[in-house]
Structures are given as C-alpha cells and as structure tokens.
Amino acid sequence: MVSKFLSAAGIPLAAGGEEKKFRYDFSEAGGFPQPLKFDDKREEREYLKGRLTAAFRIFAKYGLNEGVAGHITLRDPVEPDTFWVNPLGLSWPLIKRSDLVRLDDTGKVIDHGPSKLVNQSAFLIHAAVHRARPDVICAAHAHSFYARTFSSLGLPLAFISQDACTFYNDIALYDQFDGIVLGGTEGNVIAEALGGKKAAILRNHGLLTAGASIEAAVYWFVTLESLCHSQLIAMAACAHPGTTLKEVGHAEAQETFETLGQHATAWFSAKPMFDLIAHETREDYLG
C-alpha cells in the first residue's frame, strides 16, 4: 500500500537498488487532494484567514496553547509585506476569522477585529521570519509542554524514528535564551538561526515552525511536539544499563526526509486534522 500511495503521489519507487527519483508535484497526484488555487487574491485572503483560525483550534485541541503565550502568523496574499496574527488575550478555541489582526513590517496595525492588542514578541519574531524567508507563508510558535521541557536540555533532535527523519538536516537549535523577546535584535537572531530550515528548537522557550502553507507549519509543529515527547521517554529509558538510542543511518534518514519531509507532503498529512476540526466545530471559526 505504501508503494502504491507514493507512486500515486508522483514519487516513483524503483526496485532492485535502482536510483530513486523523488517528485512532489501535487498537480500530478491523480485523485489526491490539492491545495486550492485562487485567481482573486482577496478571495484567497479570506480562505487563508479561515485556515489560520482553524489552526488555532487544532493547537488548542492538542493542548499546545498556554495562557496568552504563542502565536501563528499568515503572510497576507494581497499585501505580502504584511501578516495576520491572533489578538493577544483571546482564547485560541474562541478565535474567529473576524478576530484576526494584520500588521505591517513596522508593527503598525492595518486591520483588526474587536481587539487590536498584539503580542510584541509575536511581532518581533514573526516579522523577522517573514522578512528573511519570502517562501514562508505561515510561522507557528508556542510554549507547548514537551517542547519547552525538551528545549531546556539544549539538545538537538535525535533521528531515532521515521517521523524524526522528516526533519533530517532541516531543523535548527537556537542554543541560547535572552529572556522574553520584547525588543532589541533577538527576533532577527532567531530568524537567522532558523535559516532556510522548517523548524527550530528554541532553548528554554519552545518551538518555531515555518511552512509554505498553513497546513505545513501546523503539521510540522504537532509532529515536532510529539517527537520531543518521544525523545524524552527514549532518553529516560536509556537509564537502564546497556540501553542506548539507536539512530537512523544517514542514507536511510536522507531517503525518508526526501519522501516525507517536504512541504507538499506536510500539507496532505495535515488535512485530516483540518477536516476533523471543521467537523467538530461546524466551522464556527469562519465567523
């Protein structure tokens, strides 16, 4: 079944040791769902704002939100030098499309709903990421439980599972903590540490993921939180004499990354989460 799925997704699998050619063009994916395309950028804006509010519901469902901490941002398709973010203080399970706030590159509020209060850290970190990475449509940051616990160790992600290999050579470790990001250049330093990668572990802080779609950024975050949990348990198990972590070899990790670590794959992998949250909430977040 796996070979059939991958082939249908445009990824030919060669047998007998032949060279494998990996392709991720969802336009050639047969009957597989594809991201919607819009001729009208304003129509696209409203659709993506709805997906962003669905993302907040997903984070809340998975327990990834904590108080007023955390933020997910969307690059505006009409004015790409601006981005949408959640208003500070509004519970994530309650956020609706009409609540979102749009900021420009200087932090000026362009559009807003009932509240235009914005987390300063959200602006400083996300503005720096969106500025440095034109390919990033969505960036997600939260102080989720296992991520902040794992980040306190100052360790990189270990590639000890197939899922971990989706981040192979594509995750950064920001190995410093300078307090709450309220000014200065730390937002730029975090963006520099992220570089061209899709995720970063922020020491003593949490996670940051960046995607070519909202779905990708959400999927990377949910997966990475789970991987932090998994690695903590695996490391604890190594306290047993003679037990060590068995990391995936380079060739196998790279091959797994090429198959599962792409943004198009993440978009498809996130679809069940978005479908379920739409069903459970009856899409009330579109209000």
| Domain containing residue 125 | 40-286
Do 82 and 212 belong together in one domain?
A: yes
For residues 2 and 91, membership in a common domain is answered with: no
Mark whether 171 and 252 lie in a shared domain: yes
pLDDT tens-digit readout, 67-98: 888 999 999 999 999 999 999 999 999 999 99
Q: What is the β-pairing status of strands 206-211 and 138-142?
A: antiparallel
Predicted local confidence at residue 28, as pLDDT? 53
Both 61 and 77 in one domain: the answer is yes
pLDDT averaged per 10 residues, the chain (length 287): 32 35 46 86 98 98 92 98 96 97 95 93 92 98 97 98 98 92 85 97 97 98 98 95 94 97 95 98 96
Token pair 């955390």 in the structure block, residue: 70
Q: Which helix (H) or strand (E) holds 8?
A: helix 2-8
* 51 shares a domain with 17: no
Indicate if 246 and 276 belong to the same structural domain: yes
DSSP-derived pairing of the beta strands 101-103 and 138-142: unpaired
Determine the Cα angle at 202 with ends 201 and 207, to 5°. Answer: 55
Claim to verify: residue 57 and residue 96 sit in the same structural domain: yes
CATH code where residue 258 lies: 3.40.225.10
Question: What is the reported pLDDT for 20?
Answer: 37
Residues 116 and 254 in one domain: yes
- Whether residue 69 sits in one domain with residue 137: yes
Residue 128, C-beta contacts closer than 8 angstroms, at least 6 positions apart: 187, 188, 190, 191
Q: What is the pLDDT of residue 31?
A: 61
**pLDDT tens digit string along 231-265?**
999 999 998 888 999 999 999 999 999 999 999 99
Nearest-angstrom CA–CA distance, 48 and 76: 9
Instruction: Give the pLDDT score at 27.
Output: 52
Domain co-membership, 44 together with 166: yes
Q: How many domains does the chain have?
A: 2
Shared domain for 77 and 176, answered yes or no, is: yes
Closest CA to 177 of 142, 156, 197, 148: 148
Residues 105 and 10 in one domain: no
| Cα gap 174→210, rounded to integer Å | 15
User: What does each C-alpha distance from 161 to 237, 245, 270 come to in angstroms?
Assistant: 15, 10, 19
User: From CA 102, how far away is CA 76, in angstroms rounded?
Assistant: 8
